[in-house]
Structure 1
Amino acid sequence: MTLKKTLGFTLATAGLMSSALAADIRFDGFPDYDSQLEAILGGFDQHDVDMLMNEHGGHHDKLKTNLATGSGAGDVVLIDRGFVGSFINQGGFVDLTEEYAPYKDGFADYAVAQGTSADGRQYAVPVDLGPGVVYYRRDYMEDMGYDLDDVMTSWDSYIDYGRELKKHDVLLMGNAMALATAYWNFNVESGNGLYFDANGEPLVTGPRFQRAFELAKTVREEGMDANIAEWTEEWYAGFREGRFATQMSGAWLLGHLKNWMAPDTAGNWGVSNLPDNTYGTWGGSFLAIPKQSDNPEAAWDLIEYMISEDMQLAGFQNIAAFPAHTDTYDDPMFGESIDFLRGQKARLLFADIAENVEPVEPHEGDQIAESLVTTALEQVLNDGVDIDTALANAERQIKRRVR
């Protein structure tokens, strides 16, 4: 097996094993899955693999074009959770229902559901999950006399904690938008999708979004967030310098904090359920085979390899990609103490969340709705627009753009 890696269309080769054969399947994805593939493909000797990596947004833009035109996509493609519903509804993926049937019971139910079409056919297979959690600074929690259980009793008690922190010149979070995003994503009513009900009607003017916006607005207006855009150098510096006490995110943030964002803060962190014992998923990735692939059987061989228990655990070790394969949760690794989190056995918490998240039906308009609701939230927080007005405007645009 030989692996060739292409970053942004500039070819580079990384031969993991010598072979006289040309690569016969291509994997299209985004970092850090290049690190994962480089680590695991030495054990995959069925086919040679090319790897085409683009940054997250560019990869999904390219794939959208590839599916629309019927050409240019790899044999196996990686898809972020936020895009999977709209891509499945484009109709450009191979139906994997029969191939995946022997495996699906061993995977998180909600993730399996997210990879299906409206008629229940499996077009995308979950490869990693993002259990939703709150990372918190222990030096601003128990070391200052606050009780974590009390703080996380409800969304209101969490904000009350932020008010207490202000007395010590500590901010609750980097950006209040994360609070709103967590609330509307993780409090979905039974039978509804994230943004649409069972009949395809938008939900964004309903009480879930109202409450989410109100919580974020309270945090912003009372000066409890840094109003820093996430994934910027200033945001990273906030973690290193201890400017804010908590961050709502996926379990995967641990790898970033530990490996490059704030390694010198080891021992200052812990991780918790979201307020009100809320279960939800923050991210996650899927694998699919475009119909345009010339080698769908070989492509499935690669997917089958990547979703095996051993490779799921390897992804957890290599890039902190939390396994979608729930049978891995009995591995001794999950009971290990994590020094960065002051000895907390956090993987047990991640697994508990992953096994308790309720499935949410994807809708082809989710990506459009998410963008418009996020813009509405920015208008409320940054421009002083009234919540009702912002959400009503978002609903009108959603109805116009989603047919």
Structure 2
Amino acid sequence: MTTSSDVEPGPRTFATTRRTVLAAGLAAAVVPGARAAPARTLTVAAFPLVDQIVKDAIPQWSKRHPDVAINVVMRQYDDHHTAMTTALSTAVYLPDVMALEASYVGKFSDGGGLSDLLQPRYDIGRHRARFVAYAYDQAINRKGQVVAAPTDIGPGTMLYRQDLLDRAGVAAADMQPSWDAYVDAGIRIKKATGANLIGNVRTFKDLMIRGGLRKGQGIYFDSDSNVLVDTPRFHRAFELSLRMRRNHLEGHLETWTNEWAEGFRRNMTATELGGSWMVGQMANWVAPATKGLWRATQLPESTWVSYGGTYYAIPRDSDPAKKALAWELIEMMTLDPSRQLAALETQDAFPALLAAQDDPLIDEPQPFLGGQRARELWREAARHITATAVHKQAKFAEDAVNAALDSVLDDGMPISQALSDVARLLELRAKR
């Protein structure tokens, strides 16, 4: 027997009360053939879509451990990571397994709150060659510890509306040579169709600043916490963002809002940049009626970047008696090709496991993309991507850079001044 719950655990989540025991015993005595309640519960904390992936694995887990229930605690994305931050810092209400989005792995990796999966009881190192290289490397902290196991990845991709490009006489190949060429094509698309190139210019900036990084280099800081913002990489991203704004190529739509989704539904957004998982989002709720109109291609300028992904971690201070079970569940979710492929089929979670990437399922046509075999593109991208170091101040840096971009686009501040100002601010925060 297994259970799942979308309710935040209360004080008695990890302890069975006397009343529960008596009730279970009475039920077994009264109902012929009734099975006893599971003796133990393994709690998994997750955010949307990941929670469903874990729930889908419960039947397989039950065959292994009919006496161990799986309790999935789901919170919305931001709430989940805030709760995990609090749990790790206070050691209160720690789950046995926590799902983490890729950027948060870096944030938590040096804090000491996550178990080192290189320890003999886990020995994740023996599986290193089975994962996409960058996904494994991303979980290595400065002490050389591996603090989380990758389960899905987000190879960067460009989605585009084939019909809108056709009306403008633009081919996808016209956008590929450079980011400048991408903006040039956007001007032609806008003139011919009235559609914006992209919903929000920040999305464009985010992909640009991730390109061209050396292995292990961070987006905003290097390995010695030196600030990388006032550099040609950021200047160029800001310059092209400003050019996009001046040519009215963005919809000024906050990503993930209803207005942003309406831009796709009303045929007013010609491209979207992001992780491969975006196709599932578009097909399932953002703009399902546009099925068949979209195609995917690699990002311009041979920009090989990761955009999101999911990991499973074991809190250092979680129940010691359940750590072996927690690791067994993580192994099942990350190293069993059938589970990885099930997540790909149901949630478009692109597998971090190389064996799953070599499955024929990767080569199947994608109906939302007009029958295109797009997963082959994402597999190619995944094998070009290198790990990016995530600094503990990365989220603060991201917010500061976004504010600096707004000051350029909305207030007319010179790019050099905006980036110089934000660089000084980050220097004050870099080594906190």
Give your verdict on TM over 0.5: yes
Deviation track 1:6-44 (CA, whole Å, cap 9, x = no partner) reads 3455999xxxx9761144211011001222122221100
Distance 1:272 1:282 in 2: 15
Q: Aligned AA for 1:194?
A: I
Give the aligned CA root-mean-square deviation in angstroms. Answer: 1.9
3-state DSSP class of the match of 1:102?
helix
Match of 2:226 among 182, 201, 208: 201
Whether the 8 Å CA contact 1:130–1:284 is kept in 2: the answer is: yes
Aligned counterpart, 1:298: 325
Structure-to-structure mapping, 1:3-402, within 5 angstroms: 3-8=3-8, 20-45=37-62, 46=65, 47-98=68-119, 99-142=123-166, 144-168=168-192, 169-189=194-214, 192-294=217-319, 295-307=322-334, 308-402=336-430
Distance 1:386 1:18 in 2: 70
TM-score by length of 2: 0.88
Deviates more, 1:377-386 or 1:256-265: 377-386
Deviates more, 1:96-105 or 1:333-342: 96-105
Distance 1:23 1:159 in 2: 56
C-alpha displacement of 1:350:
0.9
Q: Label 1:336 to 1:51 Cα distance change in 2 as closer, same or farther (>3 A).
A: same
Can you give the 5+ residue segments of structure 1 that lack an aligned partner in the other structure?
none
Deviates more, 1:221-230 or 1:188-197: 188-197
C-alpha displacement of 1:332:
0.9
Distance 1:372 1:378 in 2: 10
Deviation track 1:193-244 (CA, whole Å, cap 9, x = no partner) reads 1111232111011111111111111111211111111101111111111101
Distance 1:83 1:371 in 2: 15
Deviates more, 1:36-45 or 1:298-307: 36-45
Whether the 8 Å CA contact 1:67–1:73 is kept in 2: the answer is: yes
Whether the 8 Å CA contact 1:71–1:292 is kept in 2: the answer is: no
Q: Aligned AA for 2:183?
A: I
Distance 1:33 1:156 in 2: 36
Paired residues in the alignment total: 399
TM-score by length of 1: 0.94
Whether the 8 Å CA contact 1:170–1:244 is kept in 2: the answer is: yes
Can you give the 5+ residue segments of structure 2 that lack an aligned partner in the other structure?
14-33
Distance 2:383 2:36 in 1: 41
Q: Label 1:43 to 1:270 Cα distance change in 2 as closer, same or farther (>3 A).
A: same
Q: Aligned AA for 1:122?
A: V
C-alpha displacement of 1:276:
1.1
Runs of 4+ in 1 over 4 A off after TM superposition: 8-12
Q: Label 1:79 to 1:355 Cα distance change in 2 as closer, same or farther (>3 A).
A: same
C-alpha displacement of 1:375:
2.1
C-alpha displacement of 1:103:
1.7
Whether the 8 Å CA contact 2:4–2:55 is kept in 1: the answer is: no
Deviates more, 1:235-244 or 1:138-147: 138-147
C-alpha displacement of 1:330:
1.5
Deviation track 1:87-123 (CA, whole Å, cap 9, x = no partner) reads 1111101110142122221111111111111132111
C-alpha displacement of 1:394:
1.8
